[in-house]
Structure 1
C-alpha cells in the first residue's frame, strides 16, 4: 500500500496493530450501553443480559468511585439515571452498588459485568475522562478488573492519555481512541486528530457515525486500524456504517 507523507508519520508514531490482535473487533454489532429502552436502563445488568441473549457485543461506560473502583455508569452525576443526585466520584463503590437505576437494577462494578458476560460476547469499555482530571486512577481500576479475564475485550476513550497508558503499562489490552469531528473541523481539527492519534497510539478507532465518510478515518482504516462507529440509531445510519466502518455501535432502530 502506498502511504501519503503523513501516512509514513502515522506508521512511525502510531503503528497499525497485528491484524490477528484486532480481527475480533469487526463483523460484530455492539449494543450501545446494552439493549436499553424506556423500561430498561442503559448500562444495567438487564440491558447487558438482553445483549448477551441476542448474541450482540456490548459497549459500556465506566466511572471511578471514591475508593478507586470502576463502576459501570455513563454520567458524571447520578441525577439523570437514578433518584439520587451528586457526583459518582464522591461515592464509595459499596454505596454506588446500592443505588437503584430507574429501571430497578443497581449500578454494577466492572467486575460484576465481567462475571455476567464471562467471555460470551465481545466487550468495549469506554473510560470516561475530562481534560482537567487525571485518567490514570481509572485506568488502573479497569486494568485490575480485567486481570485474568479471557474474553474478547477492549478499552477506549476520547482521551488519548488512556490508550497511551494501556499501551505502556498493559500492552496486552486492546485499546482504542474515540473520535468525533463535531466542533473541530477544517485543518485545525484534522491536525488535532493527528496529534491525538500519535499520542494515543491506538489499536482501533471508534468514530462518530455523523462524520462518516471521513478522510481521516478512511486513511487509518486503510493502513490497518479497525474503525468502529457510534451511535448507530437508524437503518440509514446502519447502511452508512456498513460501508465506511468495520462494526456499528448501535441502539434502538440501529440494532434491528
Structure 2
C-alpha cells in the first residue's frame, strides 16, 4: 500500500537533542534533514491547543501544576528550555498554531498525539477542529495518534479525512481489530513488541506500522529490514539517509 509519510520521525520534536516539544527541537530536526516530527497536544484552561507531553508542568518547564489549569498566555510565559541545557533558556511551549505555521513553512510532516485528560472525546473534537483549520489545503495533513480509543473515535467522527493511528504497548488481535474499527490507517507500536511476523500481518490488513521509541542503530536496521514504515526516535541524528 502507498503510505505518504516519511520513515523517520523525531520524538517530541527534537528527541534527546533539544528541549522536548519545543520549536528549537523542530528546527534542529529540520537541520538534520529529518522530515517528520512527533509531538503531543493537549488543551489549556482557555481551550487552546498547546504542545506539551506531561499533564503536569514540573518536569519540562518552570511551571507547576496541571497544564489544563493555566491559560495559553500563561503557559507561554514559562521557560521550557532551561531544564535541558542553559543554552536553551527562555524557550517557550509552542501553541499548535505556532507549530503548524513552522511545519508548513519547512515542509515537515507531523504526527500529533492527542493527550486527553478527563473527557477524551471532547478534548479530541476541540483539537481536531483547530487542526483542520490550521492545516487547511496542506498537501500532507497531520497524522493523529492516541492511546485513547474514545479520542480516536471522536476524531474519526469530527474529521474522517485526517489519518489516524492507535498507539499500543503490546500487540494482540483484539487491539488490531480495534484499530481497524476506528478507521485507523496505522498502528504505532512499542518497538520491542514487534516481530517480522507481526509487521507482515499488519501490512496484510492494510495498516502501516510505526515503531517507537527506537534509539539504537542496530534496532533501526532490523526494524527497517522487517518492513516497518516509520521509526520514531529520540536520536534523529542516527536515522540513515533514505529514512527521512
Query: Counterparts in 2 of 1:230-245, with a 5 A limit?
Result: 230-244=212-226, 245=228
TM-score by length of 2: 0.83
C-alpha RMSD of matched pairs (Å): 2.2
CA contact under 8 A between 1:161 and 1:199: conserved in structure 2?
no
Query: Counterparts in 2 of 1:1-256, with a 5 A limit?
Result: 19=1, 23-25=3-5, 27-37=6-16, 40-56=18-34, 57-101=36-80, 102=82, 103-104=88-89, 105-118=91-104, 120-129=107-116, 133-149=119-135, 150-152=138-140, 153-181=142-170, 190=172, 192-194=174-176, 196-213=178-195, 215-244=197-226, 245-252=228-235, 254-255=238-239
Question: Structure 2 stretches of 5 or more lacking a match?
Answer: 83-87
What is the aligned partner in structure 2 of residue 14 from structure 1? none
Q: 1:137-188 deviations in whole A, cap 9, x for unaligned?
A: 243224323315114221111112222222222011111111111xxxxxxx
Question: Structure 1 stretches of 5 or more lacking a match?
Answer: 1-18, 182-188
TM-score by length of 1: 0.80
- Partner SS state of residue 33, structure 1: helix
- Partner SS state of residue 78, structure 1: coil
In structure 2, how many angstroms separate the alpha carbons of the residues matched to 1:146 and 1:109? 15
CA contact under 8 A between 1:36 and 1:42: conserved in structure 2?
yes
Count of residues in Structure 1 that have an aligned counterpart in Structure 2: 226
- Partner SS state of residue 98, structure 2: helix
- Partner SS state of residue 123, structure 1: strand
